[in-house]
Amino acid sequence: MQIDLDKSDPERLLRYYFGGYASAAGADPFEAGLLVARDGAFFVDLDALEGRQAENALRDADGSGRIEWEELEAFVHATYYDARQVPSTAAALHARAPYREGGWFEVEVDGVMTKARRRLFVAEDALRAALRTYQDNGEQLLYPSGTVIVGEHYVEGTHVETTAMLKRGDGFWDFATYGPDGALAFTTHTGPRDLKTPTQCVGCHFGKKQFDPEKSFPGEARPGPHGPRALHVTPQARDAGLVRFFDEHRKRSDTVLGLYGTLFIAHLQAQQRAGELSEEDARLLEGLIDASS
Ligand code: HEC
């Protein structure tokens, strides 16, 4: 059946959503036969999806003869977490990616995603891998598959919610939201909007719009309508040269919007000044400096 999302770059969205349902992890949904492109139109093989979740099947609910966005959205909302086998609790996520332990780079931010203060965690080894391949990947920071980036949401110092991105084998990320009880939740609840997972996450992360405080960095951002917009980093981390070098927020390589590469290198340079840099990280810095000069 034809599928017509009436969105810009429908192929990317189709690859994202149906890639999540292609049988082998990271399988291309076109190669897997789930999707067919013909004469600029896209078709989905409903039989290949059906049987799996009969009562939530993807179907032409309004009888228009094609699958439209609202129909795909309803299907995704009903089946996405199961199909992706996203860790079912924040504790299970932590067991897979122990982000409160050593070896994780942490950034605190008041940003646009939620009114809560966010504590972001990225594995340092994932950052190192993305930084080491920065030049080879055409000056983009691309994280290895299996990378998990976690954002804990704090309201008045209390941890109330967790969001995460888990990198799939096909280069896209799965999105997850965990509520105050630690269980998977359909939406966030820390305002200003309840964000539906994954469809509204995709909206910002796939888009081109720039957001504060990342957009103004290394300058300070002005407060937004719902509170402060600030990256809570040391003054030394506000390095204009590094911000220009990576141009990380504008490029949003890998649909990642935070400034983890920029801030991690600033952190390594601070370690270097203090004489505390490991040999491995000294080589990482040298590689980037050689490439930039
Ligand atoms: C209004 C736009 C917007 C929406 C909607 C949005 N995000 Fe984000 N997200 C951002 C911005 C900007 C950042 C970087 C700054 C920050 O962390 O606040 C970010 C960062 C993240 C990060 C850390 C990795 C990164 O890209 O920096 C994760 C994980 C994340 N978001 C998950 C989600 C999930 C899950 C949803 C849906 C429930 C979602 N996001 C919806 C804008 C958005």
Any ligand 1 atom below 6 A from CB of 109: yes
Q: Report yes or no: 88 and 166 within 8 Å, Cβ to Cβ.
A: no
Say how many Å lie between the CA of residue 205 and the centre of ligand 1: 7
End-to-end C-alpha distance for the chain, whole angstroms: 53
66, 230, 277 from 221: Cα distances, Å: 45, 6, 31
Any ligand 1 atom below 6 A from CB of 253: no
Q: pLDDT tens-digit profile of 67-105?
A: 999 999 999 999 999 999 999 999 999 999 999 999 999
12, 52, 72 from 32: Cα distances, Å: 16, 16, 19
Task: Work out the burial of residue 117: count CB atoms within 10 Å of its CB; fewer than 13 is exposed, 13-18 middle, 19 or more buried.
Answer: buried
Q: Report yes or no: 36 and 159 within 8 Å, Cβ to Cβ.
A: no
Chain-centroid distance, C-alpha 20: 15
- How far apart are the C-alpha atoms of 192 and 63, rounded to whole Å? 35
Which residue, by CA, sits nearest to atom 7 of ligand 1?
113
Which residue, by CA, sits nearest to atom 10 of ligand 1?
113
Domain boundaries in the chain? Answer: 2-83, 90-286
Residue with tokens 């939620």, as numbered in its chain: 114
Any ligand 1 atom below 6 A from CB of 204: yes
- The two beta strands, 148-155 and 66-68, are unpaired
- How far apart are the C-alpha atoms of 151 and 119, rounded to whole Å? 5
Torsion from C-alpha of 216, 221, 224, 229, nearest 10 degrees: 100
What is the pTM assigned to this prediction?
0.96
- How far apart are the C-alpha atoms of 280 and 99, rounded to whole Å? 21
Task: Work out the burial of residue 250: count CB atoms within 10 Å of its CB; fewer than 13 is exposed, 13-18 middle, 19 or more buried.
Answer: exposed
Q: What is the structure's pLDDT at 26?
A: 62
The count of C-alpha atoms lying within 13 angstroms of the C-alpha of 5, restricted to the half-sphere facing its C-beta, is 19
User: Cβ of 275: how many Cβ atoms within 10 Å?
Assistant: 6
Any ligand 1 atom below 6 A from CB of 213: no
- How far apart are the C-alpha atoms of 216 and 212, rounded to whole Å? 6
**Counting atoms of ligand 1 from 1, which one is nearest the CA of 258?**
27
What's the one-letter identity of residue 82? D
Q: What is the structure's pLDDT at 27?
A: 80
Q: pLDDT tens-digit profile of 274-286?
A: 999 999 999 999 9
Any ligand 1 atom below 6 A from CB of 118: yes
Which residue, by CA, sits nearest to atom 41 of ligand 1?
201
Going by C-alpha positions, the residue among 29, 11, 173, 162 that lies closest to residue 88 is: 162
Any ligand 1 atom below 6 A from CB of 177: yes
| Share of residues in the chain with pLDDT > 70 (%) | 96
pLDDT digits (tens), the chain, 293 positions: 999 999 999 999 999 999 998 866 568 999 999 999 999 999 999 988 865 556 788 999 999 999 999 999 999 999 999 999 999 999 999 999 999 999 999 999 999 999 999 999 999 999 999 999 999 999 999 999 999 999 999 999 999 999 999 999 999 999 999 999 999 999 999 999 999 999 999 999 999 999 999 999 999 999 999 999 999 999 999 999 999 999 999 999 999 999 999 999 999 999 999 999 999 999 999 999 776 66
Q: What is the structure's pLDDT at 146?
A: 96
Q: What is the phi/psi pair of residue 248, to 5°?
A: -70, -45
Q: What is the structure's pLDDT at 194?
A: 98
Going by C-alpha positions, the residue among 97, 200, 198, 217 that lies closest to residue 152 is: 97
Name the token pair of 24.
């082998």
Name the token pair of 35.
């999707």
Instruction: Write the DSSP symbol of residue 76.
Output: H
- ω into 235 cis (within 30 of 0): no
